[in-house]
Structure 1
Amino acid sequence: MLADHFPLLGLRVRTPRLELRLPDEDQLAALAELAAGGIHEPDTMPFLTPFTDAPPDVVARSVVQHHYRMRGELTQDKWALPLTVLSGGIVVGAQSLEATEFAVTREIGSGSWLGRDYQGTGIGTEMRAAVLHLAFAGMGAEVARSESFDDNPASARVSRKLGYADDGTARHAVLGRRRTGHRFVLTREAWERHRTVDVAIDGLEPCLPLLGADGSAAS
Structure 2
Amino acid sequence: MYGLRLRTPRLELRLPDLPLLDELSSVAAGGVHEPGRMPFSVAWTDGKPEEVGRAVFQHLLGTVAAWSAGSWTLSLAVLHEGRVVGRQDLMGEDFGTLREVETGSWLGLPYQGRGLGTEMRAAALHLAFAGLGARCAVSAAMLDNPRSLGVSRRLGYTDDGVKTESVRGAAVTLQRLRLDRERWEAHRRVEVTVEGLEACRPLFGDA
Scaled by the length of structure 1, the TM-score of the pair is 0.94
Moved over 2 A (4+): none
CA distance in 2, matches of 1:83, 1:117: 19
Say yes or no: does 1:127 pair with 2:127: no
Counterpart residue type for residue 111 of structure 2: Y
Counterpart residue type for residue 90 of structure 2: L
Structure 2 partner of 1:180? 173
CA distance in 2, matches of 1:15, 1:149: 27
Say yes or no: does 1:203 pair with 2:193: no
1:24 is displaced (CA, Å) by 1.6
Structure 2 partner of 1:22? 15
Structure 2 partner of 1:42? 35
Structure 2 partner of 1:4? none
Secondary structure at the counterpart of residue 41 of structure 1: coil
Q: 1:24-103, aligned counterparts within 5 Å?
A: 24-103=17-96
- Cα deviation, 1:71-127, whole Å, max 9, x if unaligned, reads 000001100001000011100000000010000000000000001111010000000
CA distance in 2, matches of 1:88, 1:41: 24
1:48 is displaced (CA, Å) by 1.1
Runs of 5+ unmatched residues, structure 1:
1-7, 215-219
1:151 is displaced (CA, Å) by 1.9
Structure 2 partner of 1:5? none
CA distance in 1, matches of 2:176, 2:200: 29
Q: 1:147-158, aligned counterparts within 5 Å?
A: 147-158=140-151
1:17 is displaced (CA, Å) by 0.3
Structure 2 partner of 1:109? 102
Counterpart residue type for residue 161 of structure 1: R
CA distance in 1, matches of 2:63, 2:42: 15
1:178 is displaced (CA, Å) by 0.4
- Cα deviation, 1:128-177, whole Å, max 9, x if unaligned, reads 00000000000000000010002211000000000000000000001101
Give percent identity, aligned residues only.
Answer: 52
Counterpart residue type for residue 101 of structure 2: I
Counterpart residue type for residue 33 of structure 2: H
Aligned residues between the structures: 207
